Structure 1
C-alpha cells in the first residue's frame, strides 16, 4: 500500500479548518502541523513533509534553509497571492513547484481600494472622529475641500487580477483610469502610461504590485514628488514598494493630501510610528482581502490545488516555472 502524502500546514491557518478540508482524501493524505510557531519546530516538521501549505504572514518563512530541511518536499501551496514569504528560486533549484492563490481576493481588494478612495475624498474617517469626540466639524469638512470621486484621475500601478478589477470599478464610477505594468495589456480598457507619466497624471494613485527585488523601493521620495499637488495614495500591494518614511515625508510636505494604507514596511505597524498620529491617513491591518467571499475563495483554491497534487493532477498558478504535475520523492 502506498504511504499517505504528508501535508504540513503552517500557522496561522486554523488546524481544524485544514483537517476538514482534506477529510475527503481519506487514507491518501495525512495532515500535520508544527509543534509550535517557532523556527526550530518548522525545520523539524519539514523533514517528513511532502506538501507544505505555507505561512502567509511570513513568520515561518519557507526560505532556502527551510527548503534544504525538506528532502521529501514535492509541492508548496501559498495561501495568498504574494509570495514574499517563500523562496521561489530555492524551490525551483530543488525541483519543487510552488503555487499561489492568484485572483482569490481580487474583487475584495479592489473594492477596498475604491472604498478607501471614497473615504479619503470625502474625509469620512476624519469627520467620524470629530463627531465621536463631541464636535460638529461641518464647516471644517468643507474647508478640507472634499472631492467627488468621478472627477479624479486614477492611476493604477500593477495590472494583475486586483489592478484590472480596480480599474473596472473606478471606470464604472466615471473616473479616467490609467495603468502601468511591466508588460502592457493590449486588451485593457484603461490607458497605459509609463510609470513616471502615470504618477504625474494621477490624483489617486493605487498600488497593486507584488513585492519583488525589482519593485522594492520602486516608488520612493523622488517618484512621489512627481504626483500632482494634493494627490491621494492607496496601497493594497505590499509594504516596501513605497517606503513608509517616504509616505510620511510626502504627507508632511503636502504633496500627498492623504493616504489609505493596508500594508506597511513592518507589520504590525510600530506603536510609535508617525503614521499612527497622522489624521490624513486611513490605516488598515493588512485586511483588504479578508472579506467572507475572499476567504471562501481562498479555502477552495488551497483545497483544490493540494487535492490535485495528491491525486496526480496538474496544479494551478505555479509561480516558479516548474512543471505543474507534482511528483513524489
Structure 2
C-alpha cells in the first residue's frame, strides 16, 4: 500500500509463492481505509509513511510482517505489533550520499539567500541590497546526530574550510569533527544541521528552551522528521531573528510552514535520486525474499 512515488509492480516477480495486490496512487484519490477494507487477509504488508496506528492494524488480523520502504518506522504502532507478534522491518541505507548532498544544498540556498535572489530577479528587481549572505569559510557548523548522514555532511563540509562540531545521543569517535554538548553546539554554531531520527527522546528536541540558547542569527538546516522541532518555537525563533534562516525538508502538508519567514522548504525529497530509488527497490525486495526463504 503506497500513496507516494510508484514502484514497478514487477519488482517481486522473482519471489515465489506470494500473491501480490498493489495499491499505488499518489493522488488525493488514494484511500487507505478502502485499501485495508479490500485486503483483510493480508499476511505481509509493504508500505510507507501512512497511518499505521492500532486502529488500522487491527483491521488486518492475519498480518505477520510489515516491511516499510522507509528508514524510519515512527508512524507504525510498534507496541501493537509486539503484542500481536507482527514483525516490523525497515529499509536502511538506501539513501547513500543523496540526503547529505541535499542537506548541504539547503545550507547553500539559505546561507547565500538564493531563494530571495531568485524571487527578486523574476520580478524584475536586479538592485538587491537587503538580502546579504554569509561566507562559509571559517564559519562553525554544528551537527546534531553524527550517524551515517551526519558523518557524510561533515565530510562534505570539510571542503568548505568550516569548523565542524557535533553532538550525538551516544558517545562516538569521529576524525571529522569535534564532540561538544548540545548547549555548546547551539550557542557557538553559525549553522546547525539536524540529522536525527525521531524517537521519544528526540521529540521536540528543538523547543523554546533550546532555541533560546542558539547563537543569534544562526541558520538551521533540518532533514529530520518535523516533530523533532516544536513549531511555535521555530516560528518565534525565525520571527525574532534568533534564527536568520532555515532550510527544511518537511514531512507534513502543514500550511503553517508556508507562513514562516526566511525559509527554504522542500517536500521530503532529500533522498529522491535515481540511484537511491533503485537501491531502495533492491533492499526491500531482498528483505521480502529473505523473509520468505526463512519460512
| Structure 1 residue 134: Cα displacement | 0.3
Taking a change above 3 Å as real, the CA distance of residues 157 and 68 of structure 1, as seen in their structure-2 partners, is: same
Deviation string, structure 1 residues 194-240 (Cα, Å, up to 9, x no partner): 22222112111111111222211111011011111110001100112
The runs of at least 4 aligned residues of structure 1 exceeding 4 Å deviation read none
> What 5-or-longer segments of structure 2 have no aligned partner?
none
| Structure 1 residue 179: Cα displacement | 1.6
Match of 1:172 among 143, 159, 162: 159
8 Å CA contact retained: 1:50, 1:73 = yes
8 Å CA contact retained: 1:54, 1:62 = no
Aligned alpha-carbon RMSD (Å)? 2.2
Match of 2:139 among 152, 157, 166: 152
Aligned residues: 291
Match of 2:18 among 19, 29, 36: 29
**Larger RCO, structures 1/2 (Cα 8 Å, 6+ apart):** 1
Structure 1 CA distance for aligned equivalents of residues 73 and 188 of structure 2: 30
8 Å CA contact retained: 1:126, 1:279 = no
| Structure 1 residue 73: Cα displacement | 2.3
TM-score (norm 2): 0.90
Taking a change above 3 Å as real, the CA distance of residues 278 and 34 of structure 1, as seen in their structure-2 partners, is: closer
**Aligned partner of residue 154 in structure 1, secondary structure:** strand
| Structure 1 residue 188: Cα displacement | 5.3
Name whichever of 227-236 and 106-115 sits farther off. 106-115
Is residue 132 of structure 1 aligned with residue 122 of structure 2?
yes
Taking a change above 3 Å as real, the CA distance of residues 229 and 308 of structure 1, as seen in their structure-2 partners, is: same
**Aligned partner of residue 192 in structure 2, secondary structure:** strand
> What 5-or-longer segments of structure 1 have no aligned partner?
1-8, 313-326
Taking a change above 3 Å as real, the CA distance of residues 188 and 102 of structure 1, as seen in their structure-2 partners, is: farther
Structure 1 CA distance for aligned equivalents of residues 146 and 96 of structure 2: 11
Number of the residue aligned with 2:89: 99
**Aligned partner of residue 283 in structure 2, secondary structure:** helix
| Structure 1 residue 308: Cα displacement | 1.3
Structure 2 CA distance for aligned equivalents of residues 122 and 169 of structure 1: 17
